[in-house]
């Protein structure tokens, strides 16, 4: 089974988020970079499927040259090959991103295309769906359970993909090839092993340079950090000595039974 | 022109998130002197006319996909595309042009006698709550029409024709983006928990009568359970049957009841949260005991789930569950933005942390500085003895 997983490089912001003075980007001078937990789970799912059914896992990202770091992280988790759709570093919107990814994947014959449900930073909620329409394959999103049924005859098999919605379990059965976007919780990703890291260094790496996309559609004007609603916490006390004050507070809040 | 708002049905009425999305849809329509209409997939009587009226809506469209069809995102999107008179296939060379002409379809056509409409007339925007379904269906609609889409908006106004100024969430609400959407058909989803529940406002009866007069469409006069309110307001419900291809129904849900029991994290009145500071999988029994005492649920940080200490369904945050309790007691949690994105709905946050400089101290309402392994057993003992006393 040939699987491709699409991941996006995003800054690993922690306790606070700071915007650059021109209000166009998140200040990443102090930040490391990572991918969304949803996407990491996508890679883990692909690696587990290939361990069971054979085949290979390709990871793909569209981003600046430094996004190669994230591809190497994913190779260390067990992916076999990597594709970097290299940009000049400017932010690409979801329409242009999906076009470029679909263009790259069209002729490669993957059985399963895995995505995160939404990108961690821009949260567009659409790239997988757009890629599916561009390729003419079915798409299921927000998946937390995935079973693959092998194909009979010429068939490439099918999947049963599940998610919970408003307290109800939904299951979708679709033929392969298909686009599936997953959410964290579908599995517990492994930690990269030392052999994995060494393999990552030697893995096949394909780089395709992209020209800047045409502007239009949804255009960012500025980024702002929402005003904090609460000011600094009122300290009730230290250690167990704070318990009487804490009990009084719980009583005032009306949460004691 | 009309702003269509896709609404979802829960417990026999409008889902709360959909009411909030309707508020934003009405605001967007109002900014351009237009009307908002509600659209749902299902029977015409799935939403009562009194509830539509209370939501300030005078026209509803029920998209009928036929009996026995489960949730089918592509079919829902085709229904919306057809109702909006948008081109049905991606790659249409002249989206604006064909949209314009399709908008002139006379809804009082031959299907009128069956209570059916051919379109909603000219449509300027399609809005939905940013639920899993709302985001998914609008993404399909965006892909089908080849138009841009903005997810998780917290406000939207028409700045000029074909242009919408909006504010949307990034990083699950930890960051806001002000943006301009250039499109003849604005496609937006609304971050429902970040916008206010709109006031109930009965629609003017006169306006509705006029609307019905203009379109000449037969509403579902036979809707059961019409209440007193519906006598003063007369929302009209039209039925729309999209032309579907077999492929549009390929992705279709079969449903089975969720077997999970106990207090649900998303709706719990009290959540006791545990992070890395809990120290290991065994440390959580104390937090569970406290949660039980308070009739609440246990929530955890991502460090806890990725270590395998607790299952992911207990994770609070951007890639976990969003909670909105009266009290969130966050123990041994540093307060990373991705964690806090999941508890913005909490009324009161109390942090227990050994580090007075942890980011959560600047975000919580109250704090206890100390070791949770000392504070929590003492708190449990105090609550139990208070119970015995009184
Ligand atoms: C895209 C993305 C999505 C993410 N989604 C989520 C998400 O959904 N949910 C989530 O939680 N995180 C999420 N994260 C991870 C997040 O950035 C943090 O890494 C995580 O929340 C930290 O967990 P923590 O607070 O338990 O651990 P830490 O940051 O290590 O904090 C532990 C805290 O415990 C305190 N402590 C230690 N010992 C004690 C003690 N004995 N008593 C009291 N206090 C003590 C310490 O002072 C410290 O403040 C996401 C990250 C990314 C990049
Ligand atoms: N620049 C990118 N490179 C690779 N994959 C991406 C990129 N942007 C988005 N994706 C994929 O599409 C998913 C949804 O992204 P979005 O629609 O932008 O929220 C992500 O979780 C990724 O799997």
Q: Which residues face A59 on adjacent strands? A: A5, A82
pLDDT of residue B122: 93
pLDDT class of B173 with cuts at 50, 70, 90: very high
**Cα separation, A12 vs A26, whole angstroms:** 11
Is the pLDDT assigned to residue B115 strictly greater than 90? no
**Beta strands B2-6 and B9-10, pairing class:** unpaired
Question: Which residue would you say has higher pLDDT here, B281 or A228?
Answer: B281
Q: In a mutagenesis test of the B interface, which of A12, A16, A35, A123 is the best target, namely the one with the most B β-carbons within 10 Å?
A: A123
Cβ neighbours of residue B46 under 8 Å, at least 6 residues apart?
Answer: B9, B40, B62
Element (H, E) at A42: helix A37-53
Atom of ligand 2 nearest to the CA of A115: 23
pLDDT of residue B350: 98
Is the pLDDT assigned to residue B300 strictly greater than 60? yes
Tokens of B304: 């806890």
Which chain A residues contact residue B14 at CB under 8 A? none
pLDDT of residue B106: 34
Is the pLDDT assigned to residue B242 strictly greater than 80? yes
Query: For residue A182, what is the nearest residue in chain B, using CA coordinates?
Result: B319
pLDDT class of B89 with cuts at 50, 70, 90: very low
**Cα separation, B117 vs B337, whole angstroms:** 47
- Atom 22 (ligand 1): residue with closest C-alpha? B303
| Residues in contact with ligand 1 (CB, 6 Å cut-off) | A 12, 14, 34, 36-37, 120; B 275-277, 301-303, 315-320, 332-334, 336, 338-339, 342, 352-355, 358, 371-373
pLDDT per residue of chain A (257 residues) written in tens, 0 to 9? 999 999 999 999 988 999 999 999 999 998 899 999 999 999 999 999 999 999 999 999 999 999 999 999 999 999 999 999 999 999 999 999 999 999 999 999 999 999 999 999 999 999 999 999 999 999 999 999 999 998 766 678 999 999 999 889 999 999 999 999 999 999 999 998 888 888 888 888 999 999 999 888 999 999 999 987 557 899 999 999 999 999 999 999 999 98
- Quote the pTM value: 0.92
Instruction: Return the percent helix, strand and coil in chain A, to nearest 5.
Output: 30, 30, 40
Instruction: Determine the 3-state secondary structure of B30 from DSSP.
Output: helix
pLDDT of residue A152: 66
Average pLDDT, rounded, for chain B: 86
Asked if B168 and B179 touch (Cβ cutoff 8 Å), the reply is yes
Q: Which residues face B40 on adjacent strands? A: B62
Asked if B169 and B152 touch (Cβ cutoff 8 Å), the reply is yes
B25 to A106, B18, B99, B326, B390: CA distances (angstroms) = 37, 10, 20, 29, 51
Name the residue among A168, A188, A244 with its Cβ closest to that of B308: A188
Starting from the CA of residue A183, give the closest ligand. Answer: 2
Tokens of B285: 């029994």
ipTM above 0.95, yes or no: yes
Is A13 in Cβ contact with B293 (below 8 Å)?
no
Question: Residue with structure tokens 């119970």?
Answer: B387
Most distant CA atoms of chain A, gap in Å: 72
CB under 8 A, 24+ apart: contacts of B216-224: B216/B107, B216/B108, B216/B112, B217/B107, B217/B108, B217/B112, B217/B115, B217/B117, B218/B112, B218/B113, B218/B115, B219/B115, B220/B44, B220/B45, B220/B62, B220/B115, B223/B44, B223/B45, B223/B48, B223/B49, B224/B45
Which chain A residues contact residue B375 at CB under 8 A? 239-240, 242-243, 246
Rounded mean pLDDT, B124-148 = 98
Rounded mean pLDDT, B359-366 = 95
Atom of ligand 1 nearest to the CA of B320: 8
Is B256 in Cβ contact with A169 (below 8 Å)?
yes
Q: Single out the residue of B326, B266, B277, B327 nearest to residue B301, CA to CA.
A: B277
CA distance A198 to chain B (A): 23
Tokens of B325: 């309790």
pLDDT of residue A195: 87
Tokens of B72: 């089918």
CA B301 to ligand 1 centroid distance, Å: 6
Cβ neighbours of residue A162 under 8 Å, at least 6 residues apart?
Answer: A143, A144, A145, A146, A169, A170, A171, A172
pLDDT of residue B260: 65
CA B341 to ligand 1 centroid distance, Å: 12
Is the pLDDT assigned to residue B92 strictly greater than 50? no
CB under 8 A, 24+ apart: contacts of B98-103: B99/B184, B99/B185, B100/B184
Starting from the CA of residue A70, give the closest ligand. Answer: 2
**Beta strands A2-6 and A81-86, pairing class:** unpaired
pLDDT class of B136 with cuts at 50, 70, 90: very high
Q: Which residues face B327 on adjacent strands? A: B270, B348
**Cα separation, A155 vs A174, whole angstroms:** 12
pLDDT of residue B247: 94
**Cα separation, A130 vs B147, whole angstroms:** 10
Neighbouring C-beta atoms of residue B380, cutoff 10 Å: 17
Atom of ligand 2 nearest to the CA of A92: 1
Q: What one-character DSSP code corresponds to residue B47? A: S
Query: For residue B17, what is the nearest residue in chain A, using CA coordinates?
Result: A166
Q: Single out the residue of B30, B25, B27 nearest to residue B38, CA to CA.
A: B25
Q: In a mutagenesis test of the B interface, which of A122, A129, A163, A229 is the best target, namely the one with the most B β-carbons within 10 Å?
A: A129
Sheet-wide strand order for B297-300: A234-238, B366-369, B348-353, B327-331, B270-274, B297-300
Starting from the CA of residue B373, give the closest ligand. Answer: 1
CA A140 to ligand 2 centroid distance, Å: 15
Asked if B77 and B249 touch (Cβ cutoff 8 Å), the reply is no
Asked if A242 and A249 touch (Cβ cutoff 8 Å), the reply is no
Size of interface A-B (CB pairs under 8 A): 265
Is B318 in Cβ contact with A120 (below 8 Å)?
yes
Is the pLDDT assigned to residue B112 strictly greater than 50? no
């Amino acid at each position: 089974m040939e699987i491709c997983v699409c991941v996006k490089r995003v800054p690993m912001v922690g306790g606070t988020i700071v915007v650059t003075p021109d209000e166009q980007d998140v200040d990443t001078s102090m930040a490391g970079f990572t991918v969304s937990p949803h996407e990491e789970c996508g890679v883990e799912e692909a690696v587990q499927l290939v361990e069971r059914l054979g085949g290979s896992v390709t990871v793909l990202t569209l981003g600046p040259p430094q996004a190669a770091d994230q591809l190497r992280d994913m190779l260390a988790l067990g992916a076999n090959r990597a594709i970097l759709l290299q940009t000049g570093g400017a932010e690409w919107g979801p329409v242009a991103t999906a076009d470029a990814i679909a263009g790259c994947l069209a002729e490669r014959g993957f059985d399963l295309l895995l995505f995160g449900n939404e990108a961690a930073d821009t949260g567009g909620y659409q790239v997988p769906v757009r890629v599916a329409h561009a390729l003419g394959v079915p798409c299921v999103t927000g998946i937390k359970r995935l079973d693959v049924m092998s194909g009979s005859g010429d068939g490439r098999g099918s999947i049963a993909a599940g998610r919970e919605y408003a307290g109800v379990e939904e299951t979708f059965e679709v033929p392969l090839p298909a686009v599936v976007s997953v959410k964290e919780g579908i599995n517990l990703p492994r930690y990269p092993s030392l052999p994995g890291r060494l393999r990552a260094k030697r893995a096949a790496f394909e780089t395709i340079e992209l020209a800047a996309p045409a502007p239009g559609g949804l255009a960012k004007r500025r980024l702002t950090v929402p005003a904090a609603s609460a000011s600094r916490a009122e300290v009730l006390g230290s250690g167990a000595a704070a318990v009487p004050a804490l009990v009084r507070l719980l009583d005032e809040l009306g949460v004691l039974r | 022109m009309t702003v269509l708002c896709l609404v979802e049905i829960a417990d026999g009425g409008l889902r709360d998130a959909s009411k909030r999305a309707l508020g934003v849809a009405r605001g967007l329509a109002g900014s351009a002197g237009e009307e908002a209409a509600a659209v749902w997939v299902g029977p015409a009587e799935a939403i009562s006319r009194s509830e539509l009226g209370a939501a300030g809506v005078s026209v509803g469209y029920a998209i009928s996909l036929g009996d026995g069809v489960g949730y089918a995102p592509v079919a829902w999107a085709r229904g919306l595309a057809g109702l909006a008179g948008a081109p049905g296939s991606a790659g249409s060379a002249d989206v604006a042009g064909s949209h314009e002409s399709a908008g002139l379809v006379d809804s009082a056509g031959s299907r009128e006698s069956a209570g059916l409409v051919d379109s909603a007339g000219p449509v300027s925007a399609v809005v939905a709550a940013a639920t899993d379904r709302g985001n998914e269906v609008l993404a399909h609609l965006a892909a089908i029409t080849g138009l841009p889409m903005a997810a998780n908006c917290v406000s939207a106004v028409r700045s000029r024709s074909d242009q919408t100024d909006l504010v949307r969430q990034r990083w699950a609400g930890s960051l806001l983006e002000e943006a301009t959407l250039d499109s003849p058909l604005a496609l937006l989803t609304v971050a429902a928990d970040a916008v206010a529940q709109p006031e109930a406002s009965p629609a003017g009866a006169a306006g509705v009568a006029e609307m019905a007069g203009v379109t000449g469409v037969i509403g579902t006069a036979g809707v059961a359970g019409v209440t007193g309110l519906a006598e003063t307001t007369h929302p009209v419900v039209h039925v729309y049957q999209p032309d579907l291809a077999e492929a549009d129904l390929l992705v279709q849900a079969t449903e089975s009841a969720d077997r999970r029991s106990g207090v649900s994290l998303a709706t719990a009145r009290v959540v006791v949260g545990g992070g890395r500071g809990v120290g290991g999988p065994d440390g959580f029994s104390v937090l569970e005991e406290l949660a039980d005492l308070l009739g609440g649920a246990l929530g955890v940080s991502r460090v806890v789930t990725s270590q395998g200490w607790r299952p992911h369904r207990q994770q609070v945050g951007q890639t976990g569950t969003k909670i909105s309790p009266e009290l969130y007691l966050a123990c041994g949690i540093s307060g990373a933005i991705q964690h806090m994105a999941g508890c913005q709905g909490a009324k009161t946050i109390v942090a227990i942390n050994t580090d007075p400089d942890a980011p959560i101290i600047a975000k919580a309402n109250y704090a206890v500085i100390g070791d949770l392994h000392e504070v929590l057993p003492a708190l449990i003992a105090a609550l139990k003895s208070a119970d015995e006393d009184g």
